[in-house]
Amino acid sequence: VPSEQIIKTVADLRATIRHHEERYYVLHDPEISDAEFDQLLHQLTMLETAYPELVTTHSPTQRVSGRPVEGFSSVDHVVPMLSLDNAYDEAQLEAFDDRVHKVLELGQDE
């Protein structure tokens, strides 16, 4: 059972994340770095994993953020669009590179 402090921390993280999503996606004026944002989201994810009863459908961990920008059309990609998945160091970047090579069936020297 989560303590009152855990419940408050989760609520505060959600509010902070929503604020920064608005600044980034809607206003195009971020106040924090992507790494700092990812750390906030990671903290919330860890708390929701530890206390699944706190997960709601409105949590930033349960949805994609931001509104689509008007004027862009949808595109089907022949090759999958892959994500760096929050790579912050050389080992994580190399792991991403390995995944891309595997999906594209490339040799390591290609």
Q: Total domain count for the chain?
A: 2
What residue numbers bound the domain in which 32 lies?
1-66
Co-location of 50 and 88 in the same domain: no
Same domain assignment for residues 86 and 55 = no
Query: Rg for the chain (alpha carbons), in Å?
Result: 18
Q: Over its length of 110 residues, how does the chain's per-residue pLDDT go in tens digits?
A: 999 999 999 999 999 999 999 999 889 999 999 989 999 999 999 999 999 999 999 999 998 765 666 777 778 878 777 666 677 788 888 888 888 888 888 887 77
| CATH at residue 25 | 1.10.287.610
This model's pTM is above 0.85:
no
- Residue 10, CB-side half-sphere exposure with 13 Å CA sphere: 22
Closest by Cα among 110, 78, 108, 75 to 94: 108
List CB contacts of 25: < 8 A, sequence separation 6 or more.
Answer: 65, 66, 67
Per the domain annotation, does 14 fall within a domain?
A: yes
Task: Mention every residue, 6+ apart, whose C-beta is less than 8 A from residue 47.
Answer: 6, 9, 10, 13, 54
